[in-house]
Amino acid sequence: MSEEIRKGQGEGSLDAPQRHPIDWRDSGYYDERALTAELERVFDICHGCRRCFSLCNAFPTLFDLVDASESMEVDGVDKADYGKVVDHCYLCDMCFMTKCPYVPPHPWNVDFPHLMLRAKAVRRRKGQVSARDRLLSSTDFVGGAVANPVAAPVVNAANRQGSVRVVLEKTLGVHRNARLPAYQSRPLRRRMRERVGADAKGEPTEATRGRVVLFATCYGNYNEPWLGEDLVAVFEHNGIPVTLAAAERCCGMPKLELGDLEAVARAKAQNVPELASWVDAGWDVVAPVPSCVLMFKQELPLMFPDDDAVARVRDAAFDPFEYLMLRHKANKLKTDFKNPLGRIAYHVACHQRVQNIGLKTRDVLKLVPGTEVSVIERCSGHDGTYAVKREFHETAMKIVRPVVNRVKSAEADHYTSDCAMAARHIENGLNDGTQAETPMALLRMAYGL
Ligand code: SF4
Ligand code: SF4
């Protein structure tokens, strides 16, 4: 073994990847010249490596630009075209976490997703963000305005009208064939107003406190409230009290994907003190959407490395199935399953994969007798709002195709994903009248709850 590899600095190092804090409050972060130089440096490394060609459309876009240039090197690519690569990055983090041998501690220090984030932040500071992107990323504003008994039926009906969708595509740039989530008349947080109080007792284990605050998430609150309802049913069946924080805002992930780091900071300023107060009182935090869990576990701690409250929330934030598996390890998970689930085609969401927790959803589902889980570890291509945008929808449908083929060949009784939005995108790719289910709904079904 070479000295470099032994020190964890060479290609093939066995050391865990390290992620540097995001320097977003430093004025140099927004220096366009420095950014362009860094893009050129990293693009050149990627051109020489090309491992990530199949992960998303950012890398094929870069390699096509290089191959079409006169020199067939990165120096032949027009710098004005760098933005085309940035456009296709939806910050799934997969190139950092699963593929790249040049991430820190390697001295080449490649963090492709966070470089894309910087490029998006610079672009946003220059005001180069469309009204469509601002609106789509304002999930709590839109959800708050629409998810009520008056507006929800009207908006849902309009979104199903072909003529409305054509207008929406022309005016706003939302692809006419993209599935838009339906809004609820009664959001989850209203349905769950009567949750247990702060005095509810949990049974702690070494790794969990046995009582959780549910971060409902915008999608779980306004669009698919059963994500939270199923979670509550399963957790309470296992003796874990679930409550809601007094107030909640979007976790900030849609704004992060837009490079709007100030908006992320504003969301953090509301969510973190509230969640930290629960954590300090002996509660853990779970959320039914992997991207939101990742926000608390990874992105906020990297944006605010010196913030103690952010670190306390990070340490108490769990993916729901990670939590259930930790309870199982401590013999605190009930296995009184009543119904076999048969064959399940299970798509692992990118933002859950990059949490580095292993396949906990699969492991929990496999505890159910008469259940076989076939795992699909590929990006679905939904990725926040990427799949609904006019200019990216067709590409998103191409990205999901291998996942759809795997679901078909699994001949499963159920298909599911940790990310409900990815599941709907797979459903759209299948387009055969079947419906995706969530892993928590399947577990609830197995318990017969
Ligand atoms: S973070 Fe995801 S979308 Fe962005 S370049 Fe990497 S693999 Fe592609
Ligand atoms: S991100 Fe890393 S692994 Fe992917 S193409 Fe670039 S250098 Fe290679």
- Any residues with CB less than 8 A from the CB of 358 and at least 6 apart, and which? none
pLDDT surpassing 50 at residue 232: yes
- How much distance in Å is there from the Cα of 48 to the middle of ligand 2? 9
CB 243 within 8 Å of CB 283: yes
The number of beta carbons lying within 10 Å of the beta carbon of residue 186 is 12
Residue 40, both tokens: 């050129």
User: d(Cα 339, Cα 128) in Å, to the nearest integer?
Assistant: 52
Confidence band for 447, pLDDT divided at 50, 70 and 90: very high
Q: Tell me the pLDDT band of 1, cut-offs 50, 70 and 90.
A: very low
Nearest ligand, measured from the Cα of 392: 1
How far apart are the C-alpha atoms of 260 and 257, rounded to whole Å? 8
pLDDT tens by residue, 243-262: 998 889 999 999 999 999 99
Atom 7 in ligand 2: residue holding the nearest Cα? 46
Ligand lying nearest the CA atom of residue 120? 1
Mutate to test the pocket of ligand 2, among 52, 56, 94, 96 (most ligand atoms within 8 A of CB): 52
Per the prediction, the chain carries an average pLDDT of 92
Predicted model pTM: 0.93
Segments of 194-333 assigned E as strands: 212-214, 242-244, 284-286, 317-318
Atom in ligand 1 nearest the alpha carbon of residue 99: 7
Which residues lie below 8 Å from residue 88, measured CB to CB, with a gap of 6+? 56, 57, 58, 61, 392, 395
Q: How many angstroms separate the alpha carbon of residue 201 from the centre of ligand 1? A: 42
In this predicted model, which residue has the larger pLDDT, 53 or 363?
363
- Give me ligand 2 centre to Cα 107, in Å: 14
Range 375-391 average pLDDT: 87
- Ligand 1 proximity of 55 Cβ (cutoff 6 Å): yes
The ligand with the least distance to the CA atom of 11 is: 2
Which backbone phi and psi does 438 adopt, to 5 degrees?
-95, 155
pLDDT band at 385 (very low <50, low <70, confident <90, very high): confident
**Cα distance between residue 36 and residue 355, in whole Å:** 30
Residue 214 is given by DSSP the state: E
Query: Which listed ligand is nearest to 89 at the C-alpha?
Result: 1
Query: Which pLDDT score, from 0 to 100, does residue 5 have?
Result: 46
As a whole number of angstroms, the distance between CA 382 and CA 51 comes to: 22
pLDDT reported for residue 11 = 54
Q: How far apart are the first and last CA of the chain?
A: 54
Using only C-alpha atoms, the chain has a radius of gyration, in whole angstroms, of: 22
CA 426, CA 417: separation in Å to the nearest integer? 9
Instruction: Say yes or no: CB of residue 48 within 6 Å of ligand 2.
Output: no
Tokens (6 digits) for 17: 């990847």
Kindly give the pairing relationship between strand 284-286 and strand 242-244.
unpaired
Phi/psi at 242 (5° precision): -125, 130
User: Is the CB of 91 inside a 6 Å radius of any atom of ligand 1?
Assistant: yes
Residue 90 Cβ inside 6 Å of ligand 1? The answer reads: yes
- Burial, 126: exposed, middle or buried (Cβ in 10 Å; 0-12, 13-18, 19+)? exposed
371: which strand partners? 342
CB 101 within 8 A of CB 52: no
Taking the CA of residue 46 as reference, the ligand 2 atom at the shortest distance is 6
Q: Is 95 in the pocket of ligand 1 (CB under 6 A)?
A: yes
